A and B are shown apart, each in its own frame.
Chain A
């Protein structure tokens, strides 16, 4: 009877997880190697549902991995390479110790290397998977490409990162897939839409980094190793999808070919190629040279009802996108030397503009300041010496704002020495009830095609709206109390009457004509509804009430925050106005 006694922790969730140390022992790897392996293979710890059960009754904090994941790692060929490398290091140390330099040389030549191709393929079985995960790769490569070529990591890695980022930027230019740009205090955010995937990356401003001491660069280097491989393969595929030559070559018969003569001033022969590519001013060579890209006309499927509307909306969006792609077409830009050249050149070229800069700034400039056909000169200094009449001198923010607004904004706000309008994040999509900064409203109005002439009115409207919002908020808050207040008032009246009665003893009795109490029907109805709701809320179950309270708390907090922002804005505007008035007087 009863059979064998069941032992604890030999079945169920305890057997599905493995602690990090045990996993390490099982794989026979040191902690750094295990970390590398996890990074490369994309294995991450798991949080068990019942920690105590998995931890065999103990509550000590431990990291758990899925046993299946670790088993999967066991068969990884790279594990063998790690061991080889470990042995290599040991042998090398020994040879050094014995001062056997020939052995050292021989060992160095046979340093074990490994490839990550199969891991990339395994982690991203389809191309779209890889694209979806490329954000981090791009951010990391852009960061590494800005590192100085000393110290922190291998020069080859930095060069490779630089090459890959330049290739990526060239692809984005060629495919015109950039959608949004954002100048933040951290760096410049770009968002591109590649094969339907929104890809966002951030590029730090061009300054040397002061390397923090509490950052483990080995971890970063491992990630970069993986990311460079991934990015390379993705770039290859993307280039081939556009019929571009990979590795990219400059189009030799392009019209805007950079001048050849000054090449030697910039770079050695081996580097000049990449430099020219990274100038971003020339278009790339194609495998099949096609004069005009034929625009594929989308077939239209007749459908009814909502689908129709959706289709129309989508079509409209597509049209807008097409228009955005040609935003700067026909415009000729000239970059002054103080503006971030790479970023601006990238953005301008992504939207079809022509761009050039001073010869001494960088290789690949195509025309001079003196070119009369230049329409815009991007400048970021308080004043300029010689000005040409037939061009706008504008600050760089104009370009970025235009890209985000998808239209050419009026240039007046961005002229030389003018206080710039705020730069808004294009990534924020305001939902109902969120605070919308007035600049955004203005921009939306511009997008709809309204003239910016009636600014003042708009402002007023906004203020009114805000006021209403606040009122509503107050109502919500004070809804309960209002009844009380009425009653209190009534009571006061009663008290007064009573006092009169008791004191005056009918001497001062006076009949005042009654006033008709005006009842706002709508308001009454509203109140009734509110009361009904309140009563219904009373009857909620405990669990639901908790959830409801939580949701409502979140909503209220949102409203509160929005109101706070609006109030701050109002205070700021008021103070500005006051200042202006003072200045006028």
Chain B
């Protein structure tokens, strides 16, 4: 047997959707069941078509057939019923019983409610509050009925282990308990409340960092126009290496403050400063604040040291080549000059007139006037010949005596033939008329010729690095020549006789050797500290030597003091070509390739303890630079404080 309630309920729910004006039969059946349960059909929920052909439609509870109503309603009945019966709309047909049922008001109401989708029970509250029975808070029903473990009732061993480990770690100081948060940072107090100086001791070595240099006008956002870069300066700035730049930025001008942009290098600069602070070694630099005026030595005024030549008063013109050498006659009246144009000229000093010209046929390297005032002879060095000229520029007595000196030998014996390399020969014919008297033929080119103070001996230099035959000493009266050295000690640059004593000075490339001619030995060797000696002059007193060199230096030697220079003068800008002492006045001069003659005052004291006083007094300029050569030779007037200079511009100047 099927439970009727369940069955009916299901049928009602299933058919609710199809109902419109007429109520469905199922609903009516439900009502009928309620009203008359005794005539219930017991066939169950089967399609009623199955009983279509039978007179009955089922069975009642007692097993008796339920018969179909006798009269079947047709369409017309139905229509009439619809028209006439006011209960028609609430009448439903019960398929199971085959009878029509009129629904009560309650039933209609119920059907309406169900149609609206509402609960059938009027009193049912669908929004009742939820009664919790299983959530995170309320659990009325156990999830599982498993009884609790034992371990949930006794203390955990692993936990105990862990705790004991922690306790042990805390005890041992391995784990620190949580620190109490103390905000000591950012809290300030009077740190320098007690200023003790004990810490100061360490700071003796400490150097505070230098401050950043303060900005100049260049850095202004609106600098004066002159501080801005021109195009060239800017190009230069961009080309330069950042380390070489004078300014690390380009000055810019903005017409107003709001246009100034951020400086892109700002962080960089701060960072650089940081690096400087901890990476740069610091050093205390003592900046010597020297007044440059204090560095200049206090010298006596040149005015107080007069007389000395100051102005160029005469120019001797006539040569066409550079004038290599000049010499003044001992009387001071005549000047002889030898030039590269192959002539020797004789000038009158006071009038600058050329008295005589002797063509010698070769570039003249050196001329030297015989220092003996009683004779009038000139030695001329050219190529490999030394000529002795008698210019006949003196009174008859002197000319006669010089002729006598030259001819003295002829009357005596023939010249010794010991050294065949030097040949003495007399001038003849035309040459004799020109004043040429003797020719001394040397084996090599002669560079310089000098006279001994007495005027009888003369020495000549043939610079040659490879041989000991570099210097010859000739005796005029006996027409003898002699090579004093048997060894080569270096390239001989120039030579000189001692003015009083029998000493002989030989300047090689870097040193000066002094030989004693009587003892025939070297007495001294002076170290000049220069690269290449060009010229040398001996003080008339004989105790001092000056020597010029091609490396622009002029060195003064005090022979009594030392073999090192007493003073080095570097006042020439180019090679020094010639040096000279004055015979009477305390003056010396040096000529240089820079076109200047510098006259210095050089007092020598008799007192050995007092050092010579050297003061430059005048820079004389008068020669024009030609072929990078300036002044080639310089010599003093024997009696006046005058100086002659010969230059590469083919002139000779007299400064008085």
Contact = CB atoms under 8 A, between A and B. Distances in A.
B50 interface: no
A540 B295 contact: yes
A299 interface: no
B205 A68 contact: yes
Contacts of A494: 315
Interface stretch (A262-270, A321-329, A448-456, A544-552): A544-552
A339 interface: yes
A9 interface: no
A212 B268 contact: yes
A160 B200 CA distance: 30
B258 A381 contact: yes
A122 interface: yes
A43 B205 CA distance: 11
Contacts of B569: 538-539
Contacts of B274: 39, 140, 219-220, 223
Given A186-B266, A540-B297, A220 B271 contact: yes
A531 B186 CA distance: 70
A45 B191 contact: no
Contacts of A39: 274, 277-278
B216 A427 contact: yes
B409 interface: no
Contacts of B186: 160, 232
A402 interface: no
A45 B224 contact: no
Number of chain A interface residues as a range: 35 or more
Contacts of B268: 212, 215
Contacts of B618: 535
B222 interface: yes
B531 interface: no
Contacts of A106: 175, 178
B180 to A, nearest CB: 10
Given A183-B220, A423-B222, A45 B621 contact: no
Contact of A47 (B230, B283, B598): B283
A437 interface: yes
B209 A184 contact: no
Nearest to B176: A110
A210 B220 contact: no
Contacts of A43: 278
A237 B267 contact: no
B208 interface: yes
B225 A572 contact: yes
B124 interface: no
Contacts of B184: 115
Interface stretch (A170-178, A200-208, A309-317, A506-514): A200-208
A397 B220 CA distance: 11
Interface in A147-202: 160, 182-187, 189, 200
Interface in A39-78: 39, 42-47, 63-64, 66, 68, 72
A182 B215 CA distance: 9
A127 B257 contact: no
B597 to A, nearest CB: 13
Contacts of B206: 42
Contact of A126 (B195, B205, B262): B195
B215 A427 contact: yes
A127 B281 contact: no
B262 A207 contact: yes
A186 B219 contact: yes
B499 interface: no
Contacts of A63: 279
A479 interface: no
Interface in A89-136: 106, 109-110, 113, 115, 117, 120-122, 125-127, 129-130, 132-133, 135-136
B292 A136 contact: no
A426 B223 CA distance: 12
B257 A397 contact: yes
Looking at chain B's contact residues, the main secondary structure is loop
A140 B273 CA distance: 10
A469 interface: no
Contact of B225 (A396, A534, A569): A569
A333 to B, nearest CB: 15
B5 interface: no
Contacts, number: 267
B126 interface: no
A507 B191 CA distance: 105
A544 B184 CA distance: 61
A533 interface: yes
Contacts of B220: 182-185, 422-425
A134 B229 CA distance: 34
B102 interface: no
A529 to B, nearest CB: 10
A143 B614 contact: no
A548 B223 CA distance: 35
B215 A189 contact: yes
B80 interface: no
A44 B290 contact: no
Nearest to A494: B315
Given A184-B219, A200-B214, A572-B226, A338 B258 contact: yes
A185 B270 contact: no
Nearest to A147: B267
Contact of A425 (B202, B217, B255, B617): B217
A243 interface: no
A187 B317 CA distance: 73
A540 B257 contact: no
Given A110-B178, A236-B190, A536-B297, A428 B217 contact: yes
Contact of B202 (A72, A110, A140, A427): A72
Nearest to A426: B214
Contacts of B269: 186
A545 to B, nearest CB: 8
Given A46-B281, A126-B192, A121 B199 contact: yes
B296 interface: yes
A527 interface: no
Contacts of A189: 214-215
A143 B257 contact: no
A135 B212 CA distance: 9
A547 B287 CA distance: 13
A265 B254 CA distance: 35
Given A537-B296, A551-B290, A219 B275 contact: yes
Interface of A: 35, 38-39, 42-47, 63-64, 66, 68, 72, 106, 109-110, 113, 115, 117, 120-122, 125-127, 129-130, 132-133, 135-136, 139-140, 143, 160, 182-187, 189, 200, 204-205, 207-212, 215-216, 219-220, 223, 232-233, 235-237, 240, 246, 338-340, 380-381, 395-397, 419-420, 422-425, 427-428, 437-439, 483-484, 487, 491, 494, 498, 531-540, 542, 544-545, 547-548, 551-552, 555, 565-566, 568-569, 572
Interface of B: 175-176, 178-179, 184-186, 188-192, 195-197, 199-200, 202-203, 205-206, 208-209, 211-212, 214-217, 219-227, 230, 249, 251-252, 254-258, 260-271, 273-275, 277-283, 290, 292, 295-299, 301-302, 312, 315, 317, 568-571, 598, 614-619, 621-622
Given A135-B211, A208-B262, A219-B278, 6 more contacts: A44-B281, A47-B283, A110-B178, A132-B208, A160-B186, A223-B277
30 contacts: A35-B278, A45-B279, A46-B281, A106-B178, A125-B197, A126-B192, A135-B212, A139-B270, A182-B215, A182-B219, A183-B222, A185-B220, A185-B263, A186-B269, A187-B263, A212-B267, A215-B267, A236-B188, A380-B257, A419-B255, A422-B224, A424-B220, A437-B227, A487-B621, A535-B618, A535-B619, A539-B571, A565-B226, A565-B227, A566-B226
Across chains A and B, which 7 residue pairs bring their CB atoms closest together, nearest first? A207-B262, A427-B214, A538-B571, A47-B281, A569-B226, A568-B226, A184-B219
